[in-house]
Amino acid sequence: MKVKFYSTTEEFCAELEKDAINLIDCQIVRCTNLYEASGLSPNIHHVTFFAAYSIDGEIVELKRYCGDIWGINKEADQKVQDSAAAQLKTVKETCKRLKLEVRSWFFEGVTQ
C-alpha cells in the first residue's frame, strides 16, 4: 500500500510528525528534486519534489510539481528552483527537529 500527498508539504510534514515516534522504518526519510526532460522540447525540464518514508514496508509519499525550467527566462526559472528548494528545506527542517535521517532520492516505484 502507498499513501500519497499531492497537496502541501506542510500536510506531509504533519503526517511525518505523527509517524516519527518509532514507526518510520530505519528513521529515514528520502527526498529529492527531480528534473525530467519534457517531451515537448529537450530544453524544458519539469521539476518535481519528492519526499517519502516507509512504515512496515508501506510507503508514505509527497509528490509536488514545482514548475518547468525553460532556460530562456532566468527569473521564471529561478522561481521554480526556489519553490523546489523551499519544499526540500521544509522537509529537512522537520526531519532535523524529529531526529530523522534525510537521504537523497526515492524508493523504488514511488514515482509512479
Say if 112 falls within a structural domain: no
The total of structural domains in the chain comes to 1
pLDDT reported for residue 109 = 54
Count helices and strands in the chain by DSSP H and E runs: 2, 5
Checking if the pLDDT of 29 tops 50, the result is: yes
Question: In angstroms, rounded to a whole number, what is the distance separating the alpha carbons of residues 26 and 13?
Answer: 17
User: Among residues 51, 18, 17, 56, which one has the least CA distance to residue 32?
Assistant: 51
Say if 110 falls within a structural domain: no
With bands split at pLDDT 50, 70 and 90, how would you rate the model's confidence at 4?
confident
Domain range spanning residue 35?
A: 2-104
Q: What is the average pLDDT value for the chain, to the nearest integer?
A: 88
With bands split at pLDDT 50, 70 and 90, how would you rate the model's confidence at 110?
very low
Q: What is the CATH number of the domain that holds 16?
A: 3.30.720.90
Enclosing H/E stretch for 1:
none
What confidence tens digit (pLDDT) does each residue in 35-65 have? 999 888 888 999 999 999 999 888 889 999 9
Say if residues 105 and 28 touch (Cβ distance below 8 Å).
no
